[in-house]
Structure 1
Amino acid sequence: MTETAPATTSSIDTAQLRQTLGDLVVASHRLTRLAARVTGSTESPATWRTLSVLQGVGSMRLGELAAQSRVSQPTMTKIVRNLVESEWVERVADTDDARAWQIAITATGVDALRAWRDALSDALVPMFADLTADELAAMRCTVEVIASRAELSPPASAAIAGH
């Protein structure tokens, strides 16, 4: 019995990979916008993105957070101000620079983010309730592949840096 080597970019059709990745990003954004509309939430997507970044990466300075969330620093200042008022984030003294602050998600923010994600999932269940077991398994596998590649591994970091 011969073992087959895993596919690499040299053994797969790069044009097909490029097209599939583009389609995946577009479909993902469409699905996110649809779910958000169905929930009726009035929170900005930037709010949820900011909380997700803080939960995933940990506390950081405002400028870093703006870059991670892909918004300007003045926009992030406004987002953080609103999140502080909601008690979803807090400003924490930066141990490396007494003049600076780090932004950290609070337990209340973690709960709000979890509730938002639950609401998104609940909104989507009726649209996907007729999936077969194989389709659901394929979706689970796809999520795992994407999650593993989306971590800030050396290839992901290089892609972000434009290399």
Structure 2
Amino acid sequence: MNRDEVISSIVVSAHALARIAAQDAANDAPAAQWRALTLLERESGQRVGALARASRTTQPGMTRLIGDLERAGLVTRSPDPSDSRAIVVDITAAGHNALTDWRESFRVTLAPRFADLDAADWEALHRAAEILAAHSIEQSSQNGERE
């Protein structure tokens, strides 16, 4: 498998695992909710437009989602201190807790699929996860996802 195929395979497999985990865990919350909360966990105080771009959705769609998350107590909205016409979104303690619970339910749901891995396989996955996290966070910052 060449480099391009490896990267494509990782992306496709990650989407499949997320879909399987959500189905098996009976988690009916939209993936966009978890994506937005994860972005806010990395960097709270983001504008709606920046969240929309980072989530690859429309600003009106993100505004609706943020409204739902705010009603659920997972985020708060407030005026941007640097521009009172703009709104920034922050994750709440309940939002952090929801993310922790979501990740734990996925871990428990997916664990049986990986039960047969040996120590070398776990080390390879651990290293791959470190590389992917470093590059996805690095790319988010470089792409100017914050307004």
TM-score (normalizing by structure 1)? 0.83
SS across alignment from 1:40: coil
Whether 1:157 and 2:142 are equivalent positions in the alignment is: yes
Paired residues, what number? 145
Per-residue CA distance 1:121-150 (angstroms, 9 max, x = gap): 110011111111111111101111111222
Tell me, in whole angstroms, the C-alpha distance in 1 between the residues paired with 2:4 and 2:120: 25
Amino acid at match of 2:37: L
Instruction: Write the letter of the residue equivalent to 1:78.
Output: R
**Segments ≥4 residues shifted beyond 4 Å:** none
Q: Which amino acid aligns with 1:141?
A: R
Partner SS for 1:152: helix
Which of 85, 98, 109 matches 1:123?
Answer: 109
Identity of aligned residues (%): 33
The one of 21, 38, 59 equivalent to 2:24 is 38
Letter aligned with residue 62 of structure 2: M
Gaps of 5+ in 1: 1-14
Deviations along 1:67-111, one digit per CA (max 9) or x if unpaired, are 111111111011001000000000022111112210110010000
Q: What is the alpha-carbon distance in structure 2 between the residues aligned to residue 100 and residue 138 of structure 1?
A: 44
What amino acid sits opposite 1:16 in the alignment? Answer: N
> Which structure is larger by alpha-carbon Rg, 1 or 2?
1
CA RMSD of the aligned region, Å?
Answer: 2.0
CA distance in 2, matches of 1:71, 1:100: 19
Instruction: Select 2:131's aligned residue among 121, 145, 151.
Output: 145
Structure 2: distance between partners of 1:38 and 1:118: 13
Bigger proportion of residues as strand = 2
2:73 matched residue in structure 1: 87
TM-score between the two structures when normalised by the length of structure 2 = 0.92
Cα distance in 1, alignment partners of residues 57 and 107 from structure 2 = 26
Structure 2 counterpart of 1:146, one-letter code: L
